[in-house]
Amino acid sequence: MKSITAAVELTGIRDFQTFTAPSLRPELARLAREGQAPSQLFITCADSRMVPNVITSSGPGELFTVRNIGNLVPPPDAAEDSVSAAIEYAVDVLGVRVITVCGHSGCGAMQSLLHGAHRRDGGARTPLTRWLRLGQDSLQRVRHMPPRLLGQAPSHDPLERLCLTNVVQQVENLRAHPSVHRRVKSGELRLTGLYFDIAAAQTFVLSRSGRAFVPVRPDVGTAA
């Protein structure tokens, strides 16, 4: 049984080696020689339905990617260094010019927040419940004029409202990091919020006002 399972798990890797690796090898060889120089830090959810390189049509070396439960960006004073270390490295070492926070519809982390998973006081706290406590600011923010999807009536779905609000909150958390604040203020860095509707395969970009998400269309600008 173990050998069968291993063979199934290796199928995709074998396909890559056979069909994809030959065409990618020259570019990967160049990146191996020259090192990485991504222009963007992309922070998104660990949800298996989110595939950053697919929705951004990007290839090797283009995105410096951080994925976690709920696409959360801990504030600078939080006792959590992993995401903060990635932000510092992306900004101060790699010199990225854009940082994107991308949330999505039907987020399980946001659903857990709505159900109060972060407030489980009985018994031992788990790594997941401790992590979800970082989303409390999004829960507070959603009570006051949550953003909406432009062209659509304001949603009455608590989960969608929280998923949208969470992107706005995490961009705000991101801006509070010293290295990010410094580069944004000097005009060297731009922050972007995205929302991906999984069922519709539609990406929305946060407007400059922070009050709405504008659909990204092939033939329509996204400024708002």
Q: Tell me: the pLDDT tens digits for 25-76?
A: 999 999 999 999 999 999 999 999 999 999 999 999 999 999 999 999 999 9
Of 102, 104, 161, 177, the active-site residue reads: 104
Active site residue 45: yes
Give a yes or no: residue 50 inside a domain: yes
Sole residue written with tokens 């949800």: 47
Question: Is there a single domain that holds both residue 175 and residue 200?
Answer: yes
Domain identity same for 30 and 98: no
Q: Report whether pLDDT(89) > 90.
A: yes
Residue 222 within any structural domain of the chain = no
- pLDDT(118) > 80: no
Specify whether 179 is located in the same domain as 127.
Answer: yes
Question: Rounded distance, CA 70 to CA 104, Å?
Answer: 9
Which residue of the set 49, 119, 125, 190 is catalytic?
49
CATH of the domain at 169: 3.40.1050.10
Q: How confident is the model at residue 5 (pLDDT cuts 50, 70, 90)?
A: low
pLDDT at 4: 59
183 has catalytic annotation? no
pLDDT: is 222 or 169 the higher one? 169
Do 42 and 29 reside in the same domain of the chain?
no
What's the pLDDT at 224?
Answer: 44
Q: How far apart are CA 206 and CA 98, in angstroms?
A: 14
Residue 125 pLDDT: 83
Residue 10 sits in the same domain as residue 86: no
Is residue 224 situated within a structural domain? no
Average pLDDT (116-145) is 84
End-to-end CA distance of the chain: 56
Report yes or no on 44 lying in a domain: yes
Asked if 96 and 173 sit in the same domain, the reply is: yes
Q: Note whether 148 and 185 are same-domain residues.
A: yes
**Active-site pick, 47, 118, 161, 163:** 47
Shared domain for 180 and 97, answered yes or no, is yes
Catalytic residue among 14, 67, 107, 177: 107
Residue range(s) defining the domain that contains residue 66: 36-215
Q: Does residue 47 carry a catalytic annotation?
A: yes
Tell me how many domains the chain contains: 2
Residues of the chain with pLDDT > 70: what percent? 90
Would residue 104 show up in a list of annotated catalytic residues for this protein?
yes
Q: In this structure, are 15 and 75 located in the same domain?
A: no
In a domain, 223, yes or no: no
Q: What is the mean pLDDT of residues 107-115?
A: 96
Give yes or no: residues 169 and 106 share one domain: yes
Range of lowest pLDDT (143-147, 167-171, 187-191): 143-147
Distances (CA, A) of 78 to 43, 160, 175, 203, 224: 17, 26, 14, 30, 32
| Residue 220 placed within a domain | no
Q: Which of 180, 174, 175, 224 is nearest to 204 (CA)?
A: 224
Query: What is the C-alpha separation between 133 and 129, in angstroms, rounded?
Result: 6
- CA-wise closest residue to 207 among 166, 149, 155: 149
Its pTM surpasses 0.85: yes
My answer on whether 130 and 206 are in the same domain is yes
Within-domain flag for 159: yes
Q: Do 85 and 142 fall within a single domain?
A: yes
The residue annotated as part of the active site, out of 45, 118, 177, 183, is 45
